[in-house]
Amino acid sequence: MRLQGVKAILFDLDATLVDSSEAIVSTVEKALESRGLKCESAEVVKMIGLPLEDIFSALKPNLSRNEVWQLVYKYREYYMKHHLERTKIHSSTQVLLRTLRASGFKLGIITTKYKEPVMDVLSHFGISKLFDVIVTGYEVEKRKPAPDIVLEAAKRLGVTSKQCVVVGDSPVDVQAGKRAGAFTIALLSNTYNRRLLESTKPTVIIEELQAILKFL
């Protein structure tokens, strides 16, 4: 199956292009420890891709909104100092991105992450110049699974959302793409299983990132 009329490919970042799970989990734990709190690592892994404030609220529902944001700021402070030590780029990412650009596709990042560490990671791995647009969840009114971030990226690229493919590893990536009218490619990762991804009915499910090329 070939996806027709595609002009742009919009990628989620964490667990899609890079593996930052270790960095995220350890930093959530550090932030909680700063307030004498603890959590189960497995619970954090299940929420990778969600906004930080939602992760802390889910882990510790008794905290006030102000306390949650204090944890977010503590997280950001520690994360920016240490995240590159524990973030890895998937082996196929750089070659795939260069191949897609050479084929004439516009490329974008759509992530719930705030911008500073996103740019840090892209620069660190030498891929920042491969993207035409980078949109974070803090730049739109509603986060994934709302379609806002997909629509905003399409607008900045000068294409329609129906000319976009959204690539991500989580149900919210698929839902955001579908609600925007885009094609959706779900990538299997260690975070979400096939059954859960299938329940969101993406256009395609792939096991390896480079498999995208089979459909474009």
- Hey, which residues are catalytic here? 12
> What is the DSSP track for 162-191?
GGEEEEESSHHHHHHHHHHT-EEEEEP-SS
Q: What one-character DSSP code corresponds to residue 197?
A: H
Question: Could you tell me if 6 and 105 are in contact, meaning their C-beta atoms sit under 8 angstroms apart?
Answer: yes
Mutual angle of helices 52-59 and 21-33, in 10-degree steps:
60
CA 160 to chain centre: 21
E strands present in the chain: 8-11, 18-19, 88-89, 106-111, 133-136, 164-168, 183-187, 204-206
CB count within 10 Å of CB 13 equals 21
- Rounded to a whole number of angstroms, the CA Rg of the chain reads 17
The C-alpha atoms of residue 83 and residue 66 are separated, in whole angstroms, by: 25
For residue 135, the cross-strand partners are 110
